[in-house]
């Protein structure tokens, strides 16, 4: 019974997002070619369950059958079990050697790049599935971080117990600034893709903020009607500065490999820059990372430099040309940190030898 009540509460919370707004609207997200989505700012949703009757029945039962109730709760069978060591089998990531001793030489500003690193970066995404029996609704956004004014893509798949696609009668989404009521229901459109069947594409607002979305699918499977809901979030970033990748320079400097990029600061503050150095064929062998925190930068244009440790490059034994990948720049004295769209890769460097560095 308790599980049924919990599941019902979750479903009610998800469906509550589809109720019409009760206060004055404020434009937040625009769907391509459609009117703005109405997102009022103030909203409080409370689901209150009256559990008094259930508690009274529980008290009455325990008073009537104290021993049986204790046994059911596990209290009568509780005992201490000595701990047993369980060794995990070797797995990718468990043998990561870490950044290496050179990170101390460079005061944490450069270190060995993990052999498990990905050339494509580590963009975060989370898939959320509906609860209950099949069919299952699965929703996600490709990246939890979206730049202000950029495109937001909500993806959805609905599958049966065997993982085969299920065609719903309707599938819609509602979106809201975190803590606010949702706007109108927006239909998702069918697409041809290997891992999902539906998408909703919108334009992110110009102002930063956290947004919630919920997707609701309705239909019929094997003669029974279904209604499934799944919800997620994404963060809209509005960076207070930008760096220009096309004007970046990579050069040898004092035994290290220095990366210098022009930065244009609109919002004064503290910024952080990070990049990775890759080599080998097609630039797919990880070598080193470089990072630097820049405190109290004033508004205006200025060059910013980070350096890949020369000793790390030399010890890798990997000759150039090298590729600088996953260049990131964010303001870290704001909450949450506001980040420019990461730069996937710069142009290849000169064909230096690993022994050119120290």
| 68 or 152, which is more confident | 152
- How confident is residue 353, by pLDDT bands cut at 50, 70 and 90? very high
| Top-ranked range on mean pLDDT: pick from 51-60, 144-153, 274-283 | 274-283
- How confident is residue 112, by pLDDT bands cut at 50, 70 and 90? very high
Q: Pick the closest to residue 218 from 210, 208, 228, 207 (CA basis).
A: 228
**pLDDT of residue 299 exceeding 50:** yes
d(CA 250, CA 255): 13
**pLDDT of residue 267 exceeding 50:** yes
Q: Which CATH number fits domain 1-71+121-238: 3.30.70.270, 2.60.40.1930, 3.50.50.60, 2.70.98.10?
A: 2.60.40.1930
Mean pLDDT of the chain: 79
pTM: 0.60
d(CA 102, CA 309): 8
Portions of the chain given CATH number 2.60.40.1930: 1-71+121-238
Q: Which CATH number fits domain 239-356: 3.40.50, 1.20.1250, 2.40.40, 2.60.40?
A: 2.60.40
pLDDT in tens, 235-261: 898 888 999 999 999 999 999 999 999
| 9 or 318, which is more confident | 318
**pLDDT of residue 272 exceeding 80:** yes
């Amino acid at each position: 019974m308790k599980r049924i009540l919990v599941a019902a509460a979750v479903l009610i919370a998800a469906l509550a997002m589809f109720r019409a707004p009760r206060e004055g609207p404020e434009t937040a997200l625009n769907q391509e070619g459609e009117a703005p989505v109405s997102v009022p700012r103030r909203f409080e949703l409370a689901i209150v369950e009256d559990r008094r009757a259930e508690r009274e029945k529980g008290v009455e039962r325990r008073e009537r059958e104290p021993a049986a109730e204790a046994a059911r709760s596990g209290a009568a069978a509780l005992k201490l079990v000595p701990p047993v060591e369980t060794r995990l089998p070797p797995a990718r990531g468990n043998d990561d050697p870490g950044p290496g001793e050179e990170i101390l030489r460079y005061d944490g500003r450069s270190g060995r790049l993990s052999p498990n690193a990905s050339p494509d970066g580590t963009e975060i995404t989370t898939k959320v599935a509906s609860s209950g029996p099949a069919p299952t609704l699965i929703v996600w956004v490709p990246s939890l971080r979206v730049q202000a004014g950029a495109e937001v893509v909500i993806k959805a798949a609905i599958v049966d117990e065997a993982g085969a696609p299920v065609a719903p009668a309707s599938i819609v989404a509602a979106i809201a600034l975190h803590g606010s009521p949702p706007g109108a229901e927006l239909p998702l459109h069918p697409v041809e893709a290997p891992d999902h069947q539906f998408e909703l594409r919108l334009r992110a607002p110009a102002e930063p903020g956290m947004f919630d979305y919920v997707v609701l699918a309705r239909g019929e499977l094997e003669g029974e009607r279904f209604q499934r809901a799944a919800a997620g979030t994404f963060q809209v970033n509005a960076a207070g500065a930008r760096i220009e990748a096309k004007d970046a320079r990579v050069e040898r400097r004092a035994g290290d490999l220095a990366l210098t990029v022009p930065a244009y600061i609109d919002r004064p503050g503290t910024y952080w820059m990070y990049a990775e150095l890759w080599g080998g064929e097609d630039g797919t062998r990880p070598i080193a990372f470089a990072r630097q925190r820049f405190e109290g930068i004033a508004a205006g244009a200025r060059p910013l430099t980070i350096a890949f440790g020369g000793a790390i490059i030399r010890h890798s034994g990997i000759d150039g040309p090298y590729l600088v990948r996953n260049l990131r720049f964010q303001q870290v004295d704001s909450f949450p940190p506001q980040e420019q769209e990461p730069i996937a890769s710069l142009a290849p460097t000169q064909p230096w030898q690993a022994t050119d560095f120290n």
